[in-house]
Amino acid sequence: MKLKLIFILLLCGWMFIPASAQNPQDMYTYKQIGNKYVVSIQNREEIVKALNAFCEERGIQSGTIYGIGAIDELILRFFNPQTKQYVDKTFQEQMEIANLTGNISQMDGKTYLHLHITVGRSDYSALAGHLLAATLNGAGEFVVEDFGTPVTRVYVPEIGLNCYKLDE
């Protein structure tokens, strides 16, 4: 009897636990101005995840992204052309985004963001590279321009990179 009661209570409790999937609108706010969007990403959000969700929600298939902000965790990638492999490095400290710039395209039917970032450290030195992930710790202000037409990428084995395929 007690076992049944515990099971029923646990089952009822699970019904009230919120789903873990995050609503994209909770990650950012935005304002559209022509074919551009001013996007403010919420504090503590991961930038690449939020920008990808924004592009998916708005149906943006190609364009540019630029922005500034403050972060406290960063994963950079550096491409080694000899090995055709990326080397990732994580940094955990407060940093200012001096510049984030990149482009939006499609690869295998999915949104593909190619982003680079330059950040300033507290000792006024800088880090830069291909942005894999960064968590906001402060403001995150971005501009997304929608080109209004699809641009696709394909993997080019000779160089080991995903490159534009513009002859479609």
| pLDDT per residue as tens digits for the range 35-76 | 999 999 999 999 999 999 999 999 999 999 999 999 999 999
pTM of the model: 0.85
Three-state DSSP state, 122: coil
Residue 111 three-state SS: strand
Closest to 63 measured CA to CA, from 114, 116, 139: 114
Got the DSSP string for 40-70? EEPTT-BHHHHHHHHHHHHT--SEEEEEEEE
pLDDT in tens, 8-42: 444 444 333 333 345 777 999 999 999 999 999 99
Rounded-to-integer distance, Cα 107 and Cα 156, Å? 12
